[in-house]
Amino acid sequence: MFDVLIHQFWSLTIAGVALGFIYVLISLGYTMVYGVLRMINFANSEIFMWGTFGTVITNRDLFNYTQTSEPAKGWKLALVLITALLMSMFVAALTAVFVELVAYRRLRMKGTNRLATLISAIGISIALQEVMRLLTSSRPVGSPRILEKIILTEIWGANVRLDTVITIIAAAIIYFILERFIKLSRMGKAIRAVSQNEDAAKLMGVNLNRVITTTFLVGGLATGAAAFFYITVFEYTKFNIGFTMGMAAFTAAVLGGIGNIRGAFFGGLSLGLLEVYASAVLGTQWKAVTVFVVLVLVLLFKPNGLFGEAVQQTRA
């Protein structure tokens, strides 16, 4: 039972960390919105899915790579990768702002209750998914290989591949930039102020609409970056991939403590590793079961998640 884990421990760990970082970036999309609005952005999974198409379109249509063409090299490689990353972030951020505008803003202005917004978010997520289903005729879409998956080195018998290394390093950098932005920038301060007390922040002259739009934008940027790494590693997308990834990232956010940016970081990483180890030891059919058993256990002892917001900060 454990021999797979023992033999392949380091390969599994590297794969788990790479997957974990993708989760971290998507769960930022959930956690940021929750932090500010105290609402789950159910459309974040579809924002991710739309983001993946940003990279596919860049690779396939903008730079004309095909399934059979050689991977890019040198400067061209850097150019394509960075364009694809920016494109995915752009598409996802645009989708996120659109979601806020359509599903949240008007209802918020009218002062409807939270449940109505919840339903409208689910509604727009279905609409986003169906539009993509129709655009792609329900077919899976492959992305051409841009980054050759070179094995860089071997650590304790595990292959360290270029795409995993890039994913881990770049995702970590993007995470820290976002974290600093929230911590140090003026806008970041405003976001935190709204998160702590909406009315007080408004009285202090914070433009609520701008803060909320920025929150969706930043969440969308993080989710879009995740979409880029996802395509770079897995080279595949479909109209319905958002659900699985979104569910996992949402779980990661709750595990780490939703509303908390550091929580998303640790939640995402632990979920990535937990999924990989559980699949290897118990069989992949037990992956989801293990994840949710652990989640329940964590919530039993730490109801706000591992790094959950302090009780005095929570509202209602």
Partner 1 sequence: MNIKIQRSLAVVSAAALVFGVASASTAQAAKHKAKVVYIAYQGPLSGGEASTGIDEQNAVKYAVKLFNARSENKKKFNVKVVSVDDQGDPAVASTVAPGIGANKNVLGVVGPAYSGATIASLPYYKAGGLVLISPSATRVSLTDPTSPDFGGPVFHRVVGKDDLQGPALAKYATQGVSSAKVFVFDDQSAYAVPLRGYVEAGLKKVAGASVVGGDSVPNTTTDFSPTIAKIKTSGATVVIYTGYYSQAAVFIKQLRDSGSTAIFAGGDGVFNQEFPKLAGAAAEGSRITGVGGLAGISKKLEADFKKQMGVSSGVYSVESFDAANILLEGIKKGNTTRAKMLKFVKSYKGKSVSGNKIVFDKNGDISYGLFAGFTSKGGVLVNTGIVK
- Residue 11 near partner 1 by CB under 8 A: yes
Q: How far is CA 238 from CA 30, 171, 228, 231, 275, in A?
A: 21, 22, 14, 11, 22
Q: By rule CB under 8 A, what count of residues binds partner 1? A: 40
Residue number with CB closer to partner 1 (31 or 279): 279
Angle between helices 261-282 and 162-184 (to 10 degrees): 150
Provide the sign of the torsion angle of the four alpha carbons 62, 65, 71, 75, taken in this order.
negative
CA distance 269 to 153: 23
- Residue 3 near partner 1 by CB under 8 A: yes
- Residue 227 near partner 1 by CB under 8 A: no
Q: Two tokens at 20?
A: 């974990």
Please choose, out of 12-20, 97-105, 196-204, 253-261, the segment that lies near partner 1 by the rule CB under 8 A. Answer: 12-20
- Residue 269 near partner 1 by CB under 8 A: no
CB of 19 to partner 1, least distance (A): 5
- Residue 302 near partner 1 by CB under 8 A: no
**Per-residue binder mask for partner 1 (CB under 8 A), 136-175, x = binder:** -xxxx-x-xx---x-x-------x-x--------------
Residues 6+ apart with CB under 8 A from 294: 255, 274
The b-or-e profile of 48-73 (16+ CB within 10 A means b, else e) is bbbbbbbbbbbbbeebebeeeeeebe
Residue number with CB closer to partner 1 (70 or 199): 70
Q: By CB under 8 A, name the binding residues for partner 1.
A: 3-4, 7-8, 11-12, 15-16, 19, 67-68, 137-140, 142, 144-145, 149, 151, 159, 161, 230, 234-236, 238, 240-241, 243-244, 275-276, 279-280, 283-285, 287-288
